[in-house]
Chain A
Amino acid sequence: AQSVTQPDIHITVSEGASLELRCNYSYGATPYLFWYVQSPGQGLQLLLKYFSGDTLVQGIKGFEAEFKRSQSSFNLRKPSVHWSDAAEYFCAVGATNKLIFGTGTLLAVQP
């Protein structure tokens, strides 16, 4: 069965520093992968998605993610974090008629 693991529950970075959030998936075939962000009191917003092709995908708000089949990973990156990026980030894998989400990584940004 498909599953997603986000090893980091909580991460703190300084504003302007680079960011990498980890995501590992379990899936037998080529997965459909997604990253979402949830700000306090808000719903989940789609940042980017990977279906096939180029393993480096660009998303909104300056985020990108790289699909690495050999490592079963789909890590989210941003070169320079802004205070407004503080939120919870969820990785998800497509399954039959649903998305399966990881447990999320809460990002705090220090000034």
Chain B
Amino acid sequence: DSGVTQTPKHLITATGQRVTLRCSPRSGDLSVYWYQQSLDQGLQFLIQYYNGEERAKGNILERFSAQQFPDLHSELNLSSLELGDSALYFCASSARQGENSPLHFGNGTRLTVT
């Protein structure tokens, strides 16, 4: 058990809808990362927060947004969903940020858009 909790585990929704994915980092970790994993794109970095502030952005679509709250949990909001958004979304956390920070991953949220 990595200590990173993601909810829900599975989400099935229709095109055009909006969903929110939630992540609780390991106790004491200040940094939260979101990744998208799909068969054709592999593991893609979306966004990173450190102690409530956005610090790095990857290939995140404008329809997607995220935030990290004062209690350090994070939410990833996906709107105007398309079929191609179906994927496994991972949250990870680390104690600090930087190139030498190992990430600890949750078990992911599997999103299916129909």
Contacts and interface: CB of A to CB of B under 8 A. Distances in A.
A44 B93 CA distance: 12
B83 interface: no
Contact of B55 (A36, A46, A97, A100): A97
Most chain-B Cβ atoms within 10 A of its Cβ — which of A41, A46, A99, A104? Answer: A99
B42 A104 contact: yes
B104 A51 contact: no
The range of chain A's interface size is: 20 to 34
Contacts of A97: 31, 48, 50, 55-56, 97-98
Contact of B103 (A41, A96, A99): A99
Interface of A: 32, 34, 36, 41-46, 49, 51, 90, 94-104
Interface SS of chain A: helix, strand, loop or mixed? strand
A42 B56 contact: no
Contacts of B108: 43
Given A41-B107, A43-B105, A98 B48 contact: yes
A3 B5 CA distance: 28
B11 interface: no
Given A94-B98, A98-B48, A46 B104 contact: yes
Given A51-B100, A94-B98, A97-B98, 17 more contacts: A36-B105, A43-B105, A43-B107, A44-B90, A44-B92, A44-B105, A45-B2, A45-B105, A46-B102, A46-B104, A94-B100, A94-B101, A95-B99, A97-B31, A97-B97, A98-B56, A99-B45
A49 B102 CA distance: 8
Nearest to A102: B42
A43 B109 CA distance: 10
B43 A90 contact: yes
Contacts of B33: 98-99
B66 interface: no
